[in-house]
Amino acid sequence: MKKITLALAIAIALSGCQATQRQNATTGETETNSTTQGALMGAIAGVAIGLATGDDAKERRKNALIGAAGGAAVGGGVGYYFDQQEAALRKQLLDSGVQVERVGKNQLLLRLENGIGFNSSSYQLDPSIHNTLRGVARILVEYPDTSLVIDGYTDSTGGESSNQILSERRAESVRNYLVQQGVAAGRAIARGNGERYPLCSNQSQQGRACNRRVEIQILPLK
C-alpha cells in the first residue's frame, strides 16, 4: 500500500510540472530541466516525511499527498528560477559572442572569449561591449536572488605577474560596469586568475585568443 501511495502522491505532485528537455551542447545528450528534477526529489522527500507521520494509515496517506505537493514546490523552485533566467539570458545574448552555459542544475556561466570587450593589454572596457553588458545587467536585476563570481583570465604571453594584474583588473571592470547598471554590489565579486586554467593550448594564436576571457558565474544565494 505504501508503494502505491508513494507513486500516486508523486504523480499528483508532479502533474503541474512541465517536463521540458534540452540538448546538452557539449555532450549532445538530452537533459530534463532542473525544475522537474528538483520537484521530483522534493516530492519523494515530502512523501517520506508524510508517511512517517500520522496516527493511522488514512492519515499517513493524506500527509504523504500533502508532503509530496509541498516538497515538489520547494524542490522545483530553485531549478525553475535558473531555467527562467537561462532562457532570458540566451534570448538576450543571441549573436552577441557571449556563450551561455548551464553548469549542473543550479549554476550558469557566461563566457566572454577572444578578449571580447577589451583592447590588447588593456583593462578598459571597449564601448562595443557596453550594450551586451547592459543586457546582462538587466536580466540580473530581474533575477536578484543569485550571486556572481566574475573571473578574469589571460593567455601565457607576457610576464606571469603582469598577466595576473591584467586579469584582476578586467574582472573588476566587468563587475564595476554591471554595478553601474543596477546590479547590487554585494552580489558580485571579481577575481583574477592570470594565465592559469587555460581552456585551449597557448601554442597557437587561436588557442591564446580562447584563453583571453572573462567568465561570469551565476550561483544561488547562500
3-state secondary structure the chain: CHHHHHHHHHHHHHCCCCCCEEECCCCCCEEECHHHHHHHHHHHHHHHHHHCCCCCHHHHHHHHHHHHHHHHHHHHHHHHHHHHHHHHHHHHCCCCCEEEEECCCCCEEEEECCCCCECCCCCCECHHHHHHHHHHHHHHHHCCCEEEEEEEECCCCCCHHHHHHHHHHHHHHHHHHHHHCCCCHHHEEEEECCCCCCCCCCCCHHHHHHHCEEEEEEEECC
Strands lying side by side in the sheet with 146-153 = 98-102, 108-112, 213-220, 146-153, 188-192
For the chain, which domains are there?
2-14+30-90 (no CATH), 94-220 (3.30.1330.60)
Q: How far apart are CA 41 and CA 120, in angstroms?
A: 48
Give CA–CA dist 162/168, Å, rounded: 10
Rounding to the nearest 10 degrees, give the CA dihedral for residues 114, 116, 118, 124.
-140
- Per-position pLDDT tens, the chain of length 222: 444 444 444 444 445 454 445 544 434 444 455 555 554 555 455 445 545 555 666 666 655 555 444 444 445 577 899 999 999 999 999 999 999 999 988 999 999 988 888 888 889 999 999 999 999 999 999 999 999 999 999 999 999 999 999 999 999 999 999 999 999 999 999 999 999 999 999 999 999 989 999 999 999 987
Burial of 194 (0-12, 13-18, 19+ CB in 10 A): buried
Per the DSSP assignment, residues forming a β-bridge with 108 are: 102, 218
